[in-house]
A and B are shown apart, each in its own frame.
Chain A
Amino acid sequence: MTKVLLIEDDGETAGEITAELADRGFEVEWSPDGLDGLARARELRPDAMIVDRLLPGMDGLTVIESLRKDQVRTPVLVLSALGAVDDRVRGLRMGGDDYLTKPFAIVELVARIEALLRRPPETRETVLRVGQLELDLIERTVKRGERKIDLLPREFRLLEYMMRRSDQLLTRAMLLEEVWNYKFVPATNLVDVHMGRVRHKVDGPGDAPMIQNVRGAGFILRAVP
């Protein structure tokens, strides 16, 4: 079972996160204090960690920094009420792997944890395959079965990102950050519109839909027979 260590001083928030992660089959350990959290991280060696920034005992970023000094490479998601870009950058520089600002949707947190746990290995593969879908990174071509799909550069990048993380929920914020490299959420439904176009091209008439919209959460690319 995948072990997740949650270091969060607010009991109620921790309770909700623990319950949600437990429902999804994770084994969650909770620590409400920075110093205790650091000790548990060393002792438990979890598969992933969720660390709040402002903690009693020891600041969350110091906890991460101490672990990184010990050569502990466990993926860490930093939780914080401080959402300014500079704060995020600092969080990531101190050794965090991802950053989520409060308030957040629980699906976003789970999606990010899953993404961290299933972080794609640094492959040199030039052809990505998900079911019938095939994307050639050198030729810049996409095929579903025998049907060729014409994609614009941004759409190509979007599909590549989704294929590298197939069967994983990808939230709008994750897509904006990773595919567009934007640090802000635009007012309009940008991601949905772009995704709609990619979906239209990938799932042709008569095809079983590969790109699924998870209501209120994001999108998943799944292989279909």
Chain B
Amino acid sequence: MEYTDPPDPRTHLTSETTRHVLGLQHKLLAEARAFLGARGFTELLPPVIGPVTDPGGRGAKQVDVDFYGHRYKLMTSAILYKQASLLGFSKIFYVAPNVRLEPLETANTSRHLAEFHQLDVEVAGASRDDVLDLLQDLVAHVVRRVVEDAGDVLEALGRDSGAFTDLLGGAFGRLSHATAVETLRELGHPQSADAEIDWAGEAILSEKHARPFFLVDYPKGSRGFYDRESVSTPGVLRNFDLIAPEGYGELCSGSEREHDYGRIVTRMRETGENPAKYAWYLDLVRAGIPASAGFGLGVQRFTRYVAGLDAVWQATAFPKLPGVVSP
């Protein structure tokens, strides 16, 4: 895929391609809402700021906001609020804005934005298998409707709808993190066994697959404190990524969640966090929150994959690349 920088705002907003892409994104979201609504989910509006947010990973920095003299954060992910919201509703979703000051080297990966949206889903009492099935059905439903209803838009964007034949033809496969590491090493890529699959490694795996697949069982130490650690296999997390084929890479991350107070505090220490910072959340957890599983699907990344775009910034009206001053 050829990488280019975003043009000036007028050129970007008035281009035919942008209009097609954002129209397609509108349809993706509408179909996702319809799908989730039909399955009994309630859409809630996500918080934008809070005293704490997802600590994130891979070196991304949070944005501090002065909230009447208190240091608040823009949401990097509303995961903690999703867990808390299950006190009121058992199946929820957000279309949530996130801001992450990603490291500068991600500015030209074609995959990173400093400001993006997630379709955030959380299900009380669900297992990882439950939400993997849900996510697979959701993606298949949305893609099927796009292929059926918006073939002209795909054609205008130069996207061959035949690219989705495999996706629509069967279940997504699963690949454990350990197997992925082994595969990458056999291919000569020096992937750490303790870390997330790096961006280059992820692209290699993505290009080797014809339909999306789930990368599961990340090692502890590679993800946040809220991804639940396996009871039967300590050191392995009950989490997953959804990887798109054709080199598009990760679309979505999710997991079963830790909900036990003692385990969460311990995991916070293991991830270098100061539990005092999370007081409101820990107060809720101490009094009890539902067990749950869920995921966050990157709206712009999903749009990019379906539309077959070179870069994720093409899937947003006002692209903000890491470190690039832009409107």
Q: Do A and B come from one complex?
A: no
Residues on B close to A: CB < 8 A?
A: none
